[in-house]
Structure 1
Amino acid sequence: MNKQQLASKIWESANQMRSKIEANEYKDYILGFIFYKYLSDKLVRFAKSEDFTDQNLHDLSEDDPEIVEHIKSQIGYFIAYPHLFSTWIENKGDFDVSHVRDALSAFSRLIHPNHKRLFEGIFKTLETGLSKLGDTAARQTKAISDLIQLIKDIPMDGRQGYDVLGFIYEYLIGMFAANAGKKAGEFYTPHEVSVLMSEIIAHHLHDRDTIEIYDSTSGSGSLLLNIGRSIAKHMANQDNVKYYAQELKENTYNLTRMNLVMRGILPTNIVTRNADTLEDDWPFFDDRDPVNTYNPLYLDAVVSNPPYSQKWDPEHKENDARFSRFGLAPKSKADYAFLLHDLYHLKPNGIMAIVLPHGVLFRGGEEGEIRKNLIENDHLETIIGLPPNIFFGTGIPTIILVLRQRRAASDVLIVDASKGFAKEGKNNKLRASDIKKIADTVTARATVPGYSRLVPKTEVQENDYNLNIPRYVDSSEPAESWDLYASMFGGIPVSELDSLREFWDAFPGLRSALFTDNGTPYVEPQVPDLATATRDHTEVRAFVDRFAAALADFTPWLRGALLKPMLTLMIPRQEAVLSEALFARLEPLPLIDRYEAYQILDDHWQPIAIDLEIIQTEGFDACRVVEPILVEKTSKGVKAEVQDGWKGRILPFDLVQQVHHQAGLEALREKQTRLSEIAASIEETLESFSEEEKTNDTVNDEGDKFAAAAVAREAKTLQAEAKKSGKFDSESYEAKIIQVAAWLAEEKTLKAAIKKDAAALHLQTKDIIKGLSDEQVLELLERKWIAPFSEALHCLPGQRIEMLIGKLEALAEKYRITYADNAREIQQAETALAGMIEELDGNEFDLKGLAELKTLLAGN
């Protein structure tokens, strides 16, 4: 299974296994064991590279100090054979919770001195929390055994291994965060926000040879890692990125260290601290060697997602170099304290991005003074307003502030991205197209009406340094208006047609072809069917043809960009390459939203990237691999995985059948179609039965299904009677029962045939995949990767045309019925009702009431 499937499977199982343990707490156990497996597997790989055989691994023992010191000096730690994760798996029957306690205790003893800062105490949360996995040693052993079995299949080696491991780790962190309520914000920045910040930071740093990045409230470390990953796309050597992380909470700090170590980052490139960011700034020197380790820690990039509006202690900090230039944040809200801390640690040409609550843009007092100082000193570069409910555990509006230590300009780019998102459960989520649009706008410092604006400093000063986004960017939808004249007399206001100007600019002759223009501010449709007339207009047809021509060479280009170099292309960079090629082709076309196209690209790219990872790791022959489909079944209360057919590792069975076994597939579909027809006929016949007929034995007690055995018996009897006395009337109960019996018999035969044919086709497909030539594989990959993507892109012109048609029809319908028409209909209805009142009778008081109602209806 691919990494998404494996991650999802692990999450589902882990979520069931955690029982009553809080999600935010349980994450520390499963992530801790994943990290231990990583370290254990890494040691085994190193030992084997040193000519250890599987049998020699038994010699990994603390009793051999030479081996211990050698391995510690190479990888930073030592794990003896009994404590290896693989040994726990082998000794499944004899495994006990005490083995874990012994292993974690031994690990703490056997860290190389040079790696103490990296590994010391890293398993403390796991070690102290084992008792929470059960109230007895036996229950703890069972819980840990289940966890170990759950994660044992996560690959820990090779390029794909690191990708899979990192993906699963971040996936689990995100899922635990989503299920941890308010506690989630303590350690997790949603992946999409991390990616957005990463793209902005990476664009600023893309031409540097070596980079140092710092997260002052690192949480799980995912934000820091995403920044590093985006930067590394532009660098020849990913080992030239150095990571600094600081986190207050010990268990979360351990997550940071684990996450960084497992991504294959050099230990010398990982510098972490477990300390209070505001109270205990990064030390200028190592206490053990203050003279030779002096380091004021100025970095290329600083990122953070600090706790929002947290209380802090500003006392005695007025002389702190971090705050002395700009002022102290109020005691009740530390937002600006975190921001100033980050800004202080920037190099002169550095960049920072910080997530904060929306209130920092307009709150007064000490915060207003700090904001003024930042603006006057030209540090504030960009403000990005994010959608609400985008962070787990809080629905408050949030923003990203981008600041620079030195800028040549003084303006501020303000982006209102609050409307671009997809709803996902209780939260909103930035889509790939939303991220791309924000990042492009920020890097180009572009003004986009209703979305972004480059605001001069003078305007901010005039607004008393209030940066509330709606003051500068109006992203609200215009309220619907109703034209008084058109409401009374009909006609479509020209002013409302003018709102569709982008379409009239694209199709200059369409408006006059659809609407009359008599020189007044109102027009009428001059065609009976606006939709047909629009679709058939020559300019609209030419627009569709122009789009097709612009993308005519895109499919051949994609073959060259994806199929030919699939074994060597840089997967992380390839989506950007594809988007540039796509945008270049869309550039001259009107009406097409490039970000809609980008979303289509991203939706199709994600599964392509998974396939490419597998092919680059396992080789081209992975396309010819079939593997068992495993499903979980319960037998006598015991759950077990059993095989239920086969699937292609890369190539889907249904695609292979469409191309290489179309005859067999069509024959199977014909049988399935006939089966559906029979089912519909049987249902229709049952619906034609009277309630009395449904009480017969041929229908079940609920009256919603035929009883097959009873139908067969009665049909046999009825057929015998028909031979003697002649045929029954086709609409009679008897004739219907005979027909239903025939259908049921055919249905039974068809089901057996379909099952047999499907099984045969399934096995034939398995053999076809295994025997495909290279050319056939490439053809199938094109059909899987490129054809659906291309088809989706070619739907874009039609979608825009249908949008125009929908707006035109809505406008026509809006004023089709006038106020006068409504008034006449009401008057006619009232007159008719008044006439009916004459026919009513009642007591004295009823008649008086009816008379008054009649008077009112008459308008008196």
Structure 2
Amino acid sequence: MNQQSLSAFIWSVADLLRGDYKQSEYGRVILPFTVLRRLDSVLESTKVAVLEELESRQKLGIAPDPFLLRVSGQSFFNTSPLDMKKLIGDQDHIGENLYSYLNGFSPEVRDIFERFEFHAQIDRLNKAGLLYQVAERFAQVNLHPDEVDNHQMGLIFEELIRKFAELSNETAGEHFTPREVIRLMVNLIFIEDDDILSKPGVVRTIYDPTAGTGGMLSIAGEYLDDHNPDARLTMSGQELNPESYAICKADMLIKGQDVSNITFGNTLSDDGHAGKHFDYMLSNPPFGVEWKKVEKEVRKEHEQQGFNGRFGPGLPRISDGSMLFLLHLISKMRPAAEGGSRFGIVLNGSPLFTGGAGSGESEIRRYVLENDLLEAIVGLPTDMFYNTGISTYVWIVSNRKAAHRKGKVQLIDASAMWQKMRKSLGSKRKELSDDHISEIVRLYGEFAEAKLDGKPVSRIFNSSDFGYRTITVERPTRDEAGNIMLGQRGKAKGKPVPDSKLRDTENVPLHEDVEAYFKREVLPHVPDAWIDHDKTKVGYEIPFNRHFYVFTPPRPLAEIDADLKQTTDRIKAMIEGLMA
């Protein structure tokens, strides 16, 4: 059964729920039952052996859990003699038997169903007389990994979540990222390390602070498995949405990961991996979402811990917390002396330029660029994500840059690299093909200026090229006779009094001499001006689109006039025809 027909089958369960459940509530039943059937299918082949092992260890008075894990071949087990097929053999006791079956799972799995609040749904279905019918429907489908691999299962979960999110008017994009965008990010963070990752027995760690259903972690694992089956990628993550967390944890269980590395909660206010560092990281934090709910905790960390905490460089405006995740990931980087780290994060356009010199956003950019952490930014096409059509950018950040990248930043404009989807999914109308991903990765790997069809697609800059000084230009206050007024006391005594109404600012590129700029650009126009150096601030911005703008000259005036004359002559003839 392919992924589309399987999703359609599972979705058909909604027909049973219609009337007793609102559309927005379907996911509360279908998602946990899908997870339950998946886990049930995974354990099916070792069920008898696990029960025999349990009986044997209990007779010997030995704690059975480690032995049951070994026999099950998974990082979880179930000690109940029941399974999904046996459950539907006793229609009259379906409720109590299902509870018994759930309680037979190991603690990590029971936690998953607690996050789904599955027991409440079992009670509700039982009272509505629907529990047996729903359980019977799911018992009919085979979700064993031999039939449905982990990649397919991830796609099924994503499709179901998207449908339920649309029905409840939630933002599906908060739960997962398009698979082709993840593949691009994974390729970009691993590209420099192919030699290291191909060594037998290599072990690396990867982390996603906004894990969703675990798609980024899963695709990173698939990439490494394809390149080196002997390599081991230890996955860690944190997720705020209970249902997404439950699915992510279930997926990690089946993959044999240590699910204690998948934590629940708000990453910004309650770091579930405090003090830990990772080799690689990936994240797609929410775009343009305010962080007022966690403002107290974040500001406290910023003010009390400074650079010893996560948010030392600065805080962005309250309306968009995405740059807080950028800082959070930087805090999770291994020290360069211990091998360093690389990560990819998806951001909207705002973090590139929002905020003038001295603002929180500018100070964060300043920290990233002055510490030579930014390797590249890739501009993606619009309409790539399920819940927004805006432009998005992948930042690649590293504290172990290759020698030829030190002090440099690469900008890649991939906004024209897309193909139209056969069917739109929410706001997502475009997708990256494998060829597009290969082209972007090639441009990144070659690290050179490049053009495509005469337009720049890759540009290389010095990190300092994005910096500037904002200077304050003062002009004197004059009396009615036009005489310059002088200060009468303190440091200002004998000096011209600045006129706040005439005050102005100028942005001077970091690589330019301020005084030379002032003499060239300001004094010829206002000879009485001066710079108040005490007010000078350093700022950073990355005007991405400006660096790829190609001027298209307008058509010759004679050509435009000829078109206008042709149009007016046609209109005139039409009017004359009507009057005839």
Is the pair's TM-score, using the shorter chain for normalization, greater than 0.5? yes
CA distance in 1, matches of 2:104, 2:137: 21
Correspondence for 2:43: 43
Check the 8 A contact 1:248/1:276 in 2, yes or no: yes
2:408 corresponds to 1:418:
no
- Indicate which of 376, 387, 393 corresponds to 1:393: 387
Partner residue of 1:280 out of 242, 255, 270: 270
Of 232, 247, 270 in structure 2, the residue corresponding to residue 255 of structure 1 is 247
Relative distance call for 1:94 and 1:430 in structure 2 (3 A) is same
1:310 — aligned with what? 290
Q: How many residues align?
A: 475
* More contact order relative to length (CA 8 Å, sep ≥ 6): 2
Cα offset, 1:178, TM superposition:
5.2
- Match of 2:353? 362
Which residue does the alignment assign to 2:396? 402
**Following the alignment from structure 1 to structure 2, what is the Cα–Cα distance between the partners of residues 126 and 443?**
43
Counterpart Cα distance in 2 of 1:829 and 1:183? 52
Letter in 2 for 1:96: I
Answering whether residue 143 of structure 2 is matched by residue 144 of structure 1, we say no
The 5 Å alignment of 1:336-351 reads: 336-347=323-334, 348=336, 349-351=340-342
Counterparts of 1:175 and 1:12, CA distance in 2: 9
Runs of 4+, deviation exceeding 6 Å: 56-67, 818-834
Classify the secondary structure of the residue corresponding to 1:378.
coil
What are the equivalent positions in structure 2 for 1:182-193 lying under 5 Å apart?
182-193=170-181
Q: Distance in 2 between matches of 1:119 and 1:404?
A: 36
Residue 277 of structure 1 and its aligned partner are, at CA, apart by 1.5
2:443 counterpart residue number: 441
Paired AA for residue 310 in structure 1 = E
C-alpha displacement of 1:4: 2.8
Structure 2 residue corresponding to 1:172, chosen from 137, 151, 160 = 160
Contact 1:210/1:241, CA 8 A, preserved across alignment: yes
Which position in structure 2 is the counterpart of 1:221?
Answer: 214
1:279-330 superposed Cα distances (whole Å, 9 cap, x missing partner): 233456xxxxxxxxxxx42211111122333313233313152436523444
Report what 2:462 is aligned to. Answer: 456
For 2:160, the aligned partner's letter is L
Distance 1:196-1:161 versus aligned 2 partners, 3 A rule:
closer
Superposed CA offset, 1:797-842 (max 9, x none): xxxxxxxxxxxxxxxxxxxxx77777877787788888x5xxxxxx
Instruction: Give the superposition deviation at 1:198.
Output: 1.7
Aligned residue type for 2:102: L
Once residues 368 and 327 of structure 1 are traced to their aligned partners in structure 2, the CA distance between those partners, rounded to angstroms, is 8
In the alignment, which residue of structure 2 is the partner of 1:469? Answer: 544
Alpha carbons 1:380, 1:403 under 8 Å: kept: yes
For 1:213 and 1:412, the matched residues in 2 are separated by: 24
CA contact under 8 A between 1:384 and 1:400: conserved in structure 2? yes
Partner of residue 244, structure 1: 236
Asked if residue 26 in structure 1 is aligned to residue 13 in structure 2, the reply is: no
Larger radius of gyration, structure 1 or 2?
1
Structure 2 CA distance for aligned equivalents of residues 12 and 456 of structure 1: 52
Shift of 1:217: 1.5
- Alignment pair present for 1:153 and 2:141: yes
Q: CA deviation at 1:379?
A: 0.8
Residue 434 of structure 1, CA deviation:
3.7
1:383-406 Cα offsets, whole Å, 9 max, x none, are: 223333433333443322111123
Deviation of residue 342 (structure 1)?
A: 0.7
Q: Counterpart of 2:86 in structure 1: which amino acid?
A: T
Aligned-pair identity in percent equals: 23
SS in 2 for 1:198: helix
Looking at structure 1, the residues matched to 259 and 128 of structure 2 have their Cα atoms a distance apart, in angstroms, of: 41
SS in 1 for 2:341: strand
Q: Would you say the 8 A contact 2:112–2:246 is kept in 1?
A: yes
With over 3 angstroms needed to count, the CA separation of the structure-2 counterparts of 1:9 and 1:440, relative to structure 1, is same
Deviation at 1:182, TM superposition (A): 3.1
Q: Higher strand share goes to which structure?
A: 2
How far apart are residue 142 of structure 1 and its match? Answer: 4.5
| Residue aligning to 1:6 | 5
Cross-structure match for 2:98: 100
Matched, 1:335 2:335: no
In structure 2, relative to structure 1, the CA distance for the partners of 1:64 and 1:47 (3 Å cut) is farther
Aligned partner of 2:227 in structure 1 is 234
Note closer, same or farther for the CA distance 1:269–1:160 as it changes in structure 2 (3 Å cut): same
Between the aligned partners of 1:370 and 1:171, the Cα distance in structure 2 is 36
What TM-score do you get using the length of structure 2 for normalisation?
Answer: 0.70
CA distance in 2, matches of 1:416, 1:25: 41
Alignment of 1:545-560 (within 5 A): none
Task: Give, in angstroms, the shift of residue 230 of structure 1.
Answer: 1.7
Q: Displacement, 1:243?
A: 0.4
Alignment-derived partner of residue 616 in structure 1:
none
CA distance in 1, matches of 2:95, 2:126: 10
Deviation, structure 1 residue 244 = 0.7
* Corresponding position: 1:301 with 2:280: yes
Structure 1 vs Structure 2 CA RMSD: 3.8
* Alpha-carbon distance in structure 1 between the residues aligned to 2:442 and 2:16: 43
Give the equivalent residue in structure 1 for 2:528. Answer: none
Instruction: Please report the TM-score for the alignment, with normalisation by the length of structure 1.
Output: 0.49
Q: Tell me, in whole angstroms, the C-alpha distance in 2 between the residues paired with 1:46 and 1:7.
A: 24
Offset at residue 134 of structure 1 (A): 4.5
1:97 is aligned with what amino acid?
G
8 Å Cα contact 1:302/1:351 also seen in 2: yes
Confirm or deny: 8 A CA contact 2:290 2:319 kept in the other structure.
Answer: yes
Q: In the alignment, what sits opposite 1:181?
A: 169
- Gap change, CA 1:132 and 1:159, over 3 Å in 2: closer
Q: 2:284 touches 2:345 (CA, 8 Å); kept in 1?
A: yes
Distance 1:23 1:378 in 2: 50
Q: How does 1:130-141 map to 2 (within 5 A)?
A: 130-131=120-121, 134=124, 137-141=127-131
**Relative to structure 1, is the Cα distance of residues 324 and 189 closer, same or farther in structure 2, using a 3 angstrom cutoff?**
closer
What's the offset of the Cα at 1:59? 8.5
Partner AA of 1:412 in structure 2: V
* Amino acid in the other structure paired with 1:213: I
What is the alpha-carbon distance in structure 1 between the residues aligned to residue 397 and residue 124 of structure 2?
49
2:446 maps to a residue whose letter is: A
Residue 459 of structure 2 aligns to a residue in which SS?
Answer: strand
Going from structure 1 to structure 2, the CA distance change for 1:146 and 1:323 (only over 3 Å counts) comes to same
Deviations 1:207-250, CA, capped at 9 Å, x for gaps:
32221100112111112111221232221325x11001112333
CA distance in 2, matches of 1:155, 1:216: 29
Give the SS at the match of 2:12: helix
- Letter of the 2:98 counterpart: V
2:57 and 2:162 map into 1 onto residues whose CA distance is: 38
Equivalent of residue 191 in structure 2, options 195, 199, 203:
203
Q: Report Cα offsets for 1:622-671 as digits up to 9, x if no partner.
A: xxxxxxxxxxxxxxxxxxxxxxxxxxxxxxxxxxxxxxxxxxxxxxxxxx
What is residue 708 of structure 1 aligned with on the other side? none
Q: Which residue of 2 aligns with 1:767?
A: none
User: SS in structure 1 opposite 2:407?
Assistant: coil
Partners of 2:372 and 2:407 within 8 A in 1: yes
> Taking structure 1 as reference, are residues 87 and 455 closer, same or farther at Cα in structure 2, changes over 3 Å only?
same
Per the TM alignment, residue 74 of structure 1 is displaced from its structure 2 partner at its CA by 4.0
Quote the Cα distance in structure 2 between the aligned partners of 1:165 and 1:826: 62
Instruction: Assess, with a 3 A threshold, how the Cα gap between structure 1 residues 65 and 102 changes in structure 2: closer, same or farther.
Output: farther
One-letter code aligned to 2:431: L
In the alignment, the residues of structure 2 paired with residue 833 and residue 72 of structure 1 have an alpha-carbon distance, to the nearest angstrom, of 89
Q: CA deviation at 1:144?
A: 2.6
**Residue 28 of structure 2 contacts residue 121 of structure 2 at CA under 8 Å; is this kept in 1?**
no
Unaligned runs of at least 5 residues, structure 2: 469-508, 510-538
CA contact (8 A) 1:361 1:467 kept: yes
